[in-house]
Amino acid sequence: MTRTGIWIGGGTRETRRGVGMTNYRNGRDFEWAVRDALIDDGYWVTRSAGSKTKVDLIAVKPGEVLFVQAKRDGKISPAERTALLELAAMLPGVAAPILAYRTGRPAHVTYALLLGPGPKDRCPWIPDEVAA
């Protein structure tokens, strides 16, 4: 890899996917998958690359803002959960704190609406699938 992040090694993307793939790259690839799924559902989406911030993605439709944390394993720390809930509370009735995670084989994106600070304080959430 160069400092710009352009792959300069040999092999195909598939051969680079497994062993040696960094956590950052795995996370980035999953964030891209979530971004693409939300775009397909008609959202305008922006990604906070390498962010270490409260949100990985912000998705917008008229009257709706999603603050999304993308976690491949579906585990979100209490601090991340609280920060996301506090951010969404700034736009009551408009913003939703969303956890995106992988499920199934082959893996696909699943969403949960965060309802409170506890690990079980969430419910399934499905985009309304309005075409772009």
Report the SS3 class of residue 1: coil
Residues 6+ apart with CB under 8 A from 4: none
Q: What pTM was computed for the model?
A: 0.77
Distance CA 47, CA 119 (A): 25
Please say whether the structural domain 24-125 has been given the CATH code 3.40.1350.10: yes
pLDDT of 27 strictly over 90: no
pLDDT at position 127: 87
- State mean pLDDT over 28-32: 84
C-alpha neighbours within 13 Å on the C-beta side of residue 95: 15
Using CA of residue 18, residue 19, residue 21, residue 22, what is the dihedral sign? positive
Per-residue pLDDT reduced to its tens digit, 67-102: 999 998 889 999 999 999 999 999 998 999 999 999
pLDDT class for 104, splitting at 50, 70, 90? Answer: confident
Question: Per-domain residue ranges for the chain?
Answer: 24-125
pLDDT of 26 strictly over 90: no
In this structure, are residues 60 and 94 in contact, taking their beta carbons and an 8 Å threshold?
no
- Report DSSP letters for 12-75, one per residue: -HHHHHSTT--HHHHHHHHHHHHHHHHHHTT-EEEE-TT--SS-SEEEEETTEEEEEEE-TTS-
